[in-house]
Amino acid sequence: MARTKKGSSGQSTDAKKAGVHGEEAMGIDEILDGLEAVVHELEAGDLPLEDALRRFEHGVELARRGSTLLDAVEERVEQLLADRDEAVPFSGEES
């Protein structure tokens, strides 16, 4: 899956920090790059079982961070659009 990178990370400082806590506040581009790397390593099939399990766990953590970040962005968009007369695009949608 090829993606186009934007600037240094393509995300503002606020977007990087939104909903992500801990030592590393990663932007969505870094999270997706990390997930891509994990998938490639696991698909190669060259890793011993313990290393593959550690990489898989890392991928799960990245996926959780990405989900948290996207949830925070969605909430922010909803807040920004709440003052408008138009319908909020994400309200009522369940995952």
The answer to whether residue 65 sits within a structural domain is yes
Whether residue 36 contacts residue 66, with contact meaning beta carbons closer than 8 Å, is answered with no
What local confidence, expressed as pLDDT, does residue 82 receive?
83
The distance of Cα 84 from the centroid of its chain, to the nearest Å, equals 28
Give CA–CA dist 88/80, Å, rounded. Answer: 9
What local confidence, expressed as pLDDT, does residue 33 receive?
96
Question: How much is the average pLDDT of 22-46?
Answer: 88
Say which DSSP state 46 is in: -
Domain boundaries, position 66: 48-82
Q: Percent of the chain, pLDDT > 70?
A: 63
The answer to whether residue 36 sits within a structural domain is no
The total of structural domains in the chain comes to: 1
The answer to whether residue 66 sits within a structural domain is yes
What is the pLDDT of the chain when averaged over all its residues? 77
Determine the Cα angle at 89 with ends 75 and 85, to 5°.
Answer: 100
What local confidence, expressed as pLDDT, does residue 83 receive?
74
Encoded tokens for 29 = 């581009």
Question: How much is the average pLDDT of 29-47?
Answer: 95
Assign 90 to helix, strand or coil: coil
